[in-house]
């Protein structure tokens, strides 16, 4: 079985999904194709090891969160960027 990273995405830190994708695309362009996307939980050493075995790259699959965002995600008291 091929290894990949799967994460759900939606409202986070008061930003809607469209805003997040636009910001991440700008980061990707500014970083010459490299950027970081936090996924909210630890993946542990297994993913790091799988990435090494795959030559340093793993596919990532994003799916949209179907539930309503938590209040802390849609209207946080404070955001650091």
pLDDT digits (tens, 9 = 90+) for 23-58: 999 999 999 998 888 777 777 788 889 989 999 888
Kindly state whether residue 76 falls inside one of the protein's structural domains.
no
Kindly state whether residue 9 falls inside one of the protein's structural domains.
yes
Kindly state whether residue 81 falls inside one of the protein's structural domains.
no
Kindly state whether residue 33 falls inside one of the protein's structural domains.
yes
User: How far apart are alpha carbons 56 and 73 in whole angstroms?
Assistant: 31
Domain range spanning residue 63?
A: 5-70
Provide the pLDDT confidence category of residue 1 given band limits of 50, 70 and 90. low
Q: CA-CA distances (angstroms) from residue 61 to 5, 52, 58?
A: 6, 18, 10
Kindly state whether residue 75 falls inside one of the protein's structural domains.
no
Count how many domains the chain has.
Answer: 1
Kindly state whether residue 77 falls inside one of the protein's structural domains.
no
User: Whole-structure pTM over 0.85, yes or no?
Assistant: no
């Amino acid at each position: 079985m091929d290894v990949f990273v799967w994460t759900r995405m939606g409202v986070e830190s008061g930003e809607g999904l469209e805003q997040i994708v636009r910001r991440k695309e700008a980061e990707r362009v500014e970083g010459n194709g490299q950027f970081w996307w936090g996924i909210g939980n630890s993946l542990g050493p297994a993913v790091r090891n799988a990435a090494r075995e795959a030559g340093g790259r793993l596919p990532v699959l994003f799916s949209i969160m179907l539930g309503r965002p938590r209040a802390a995600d849609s209207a946080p008291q404070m955001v650091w960027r």
